[in-house]
A and B are shown apart, each in its own frame.
Chain A
Amino acid sequence: QVQLQESGPGLVKPSGTLSLTCAVSGASISNSNWCSWVRQPPGKGLEWIGEIYHSGSTNYTPSLKSRVTISVDKSKNQLSLKLSSVTAADTAVYYCAREEALTGRPLGIWGPGTKVTVSS
């Protein structure tokens, strides 16, 4: 079955760049639908960051658009998230999730998430 696994540094310094990867197993990312990044600050709700199609097309939430880059590496079967100029407000658990080929375009498969703390 398809599985997603996020990875990356758990600690990032303020003003630095947060870089995460999401490894896809059990399916080729080239045949996948849109893949999203979603984050959840401590004790708060879910925030959709953006998504990428295997062709490289992207959509980003307006509030983060100037700082976010999502990319796909087909050779490694993974997607990546970069968030620049981070502050403490970017401290969160970051999830990658894959859209299912179903009516309503739901995010049907999620990785376990990776916790990122922004602190000096």
Chain B
Amino acid sequence: DIQMSQSPSSLSASVGDRVTITCRASQSISTYLNWYQQKPGKAPMLLIYAASILQSGVPSRFSGSGSGTDFTLTISSLQPEDFATYYCQQSYNTLRTFGQGTKVEIK
């Protein structure tokens, strides 16, 4: 199995802050890396696919980068609606795996 690890597990930030979340794969996954946002009581929502492509309708303050084993999700200016948990997920092989999640909380 390909293991995915995210850091940090949680962070506190203020509105307007730049936030960066990292995701590391246990082996190279090329750019088969997707990011999801989940708000309490709701289903996850796709933010970014193929490491850096913004899903339609997602604000441009979200961006993704990386390839191989190391990836980042950046929120350029945190907005009140961005407080949520973020998950990375690999689709490189037939067994998809998620990172453990990063909870973004209000400072």
User: Is B50 part of the contact surface with A, judged by Cβ < 8 Å?
Assistant: yes
Checking A48, A51, A99 against B98 with a beta-carbon cut-off of 8 angstroms, the contacting residue is A48
Tell me, in angstroms, the Cα distance from A99 to B98 when the chains sit together. Answer: 15
Q: Is the CB of A104 within 8 A of B101?
A: no
A99's closest neighbor in chain B, by CB?
B91
Q: A46-B87, A95-B43, A112-B43 are in contact. Are A104 and B32 (CB under 8 A)?
A: yes
Report A-chain residues with C-beta under 8 Å of the C-beta of B100.
45
Report B-chain residues with C-beta under 8 Å of the C-beta of A47.
98
Nearest chain A CB to B82's CB is how many angstroms away? 19
Q: A46-B101, A103-B49, A106-B49 are in contact. Are A59 and B43 (CB under 8 A)?
A: no
User: Is B31 part of the contact surface with A, judged by Cβ < 8 Å?
Assistant: yes
Q: Is the CB of B101 within 8 A of A108?
A: no
A113's closest neighbor in chain B, by CB?
B43
Chain B facing A: main interface SS: loop
Q: Is the CB of B96 within 8 A of A36?
A: yes
User: Is A107 part of the contact surface with B, judged by Cβ < 8 Å?
Assistant: yes
User: Is B34 part of the contact surface with A, judged by Cβ < 8 Å?
Assistant: yes
User: Is B51 part of the contact surface with A, judged by Cβ < 8 Å?
Assistant: yes
Considering only residues 61-107 of chain B, those with a C-beta below 8 Å from chain A are: 87, 89, 91, 94-101
Q: Is the CB of A104 within 8 A of B97?
A: no
Binary flags per residue of A31-64, CB closer than 8 Å to B gives 1, else 0: 0000010100000011110010000000101100
Q: Is the CB of B46 within 8 A of A108?
A: yes
Nearest chain A CB to B36's CB is how many angstroms away? 8
Report A-chain residues with C-beta under 8 Å of the C-beta of B33.
104
User: Is A2 part of the contact surface with B, judged by Cβ < 8 Å?
Assistant: no
A residues near B, CB below 8 A? Answer: 36, 38, 45-48, 51, 59, 61-62, 95, 97, 99-100, 102-108, 110-113
B residues near A, CB below 8 A? Answer: 1, 31-34, 36, 38, 42-46, 49-51, 53, 55, 87, 89, 91, 94-101
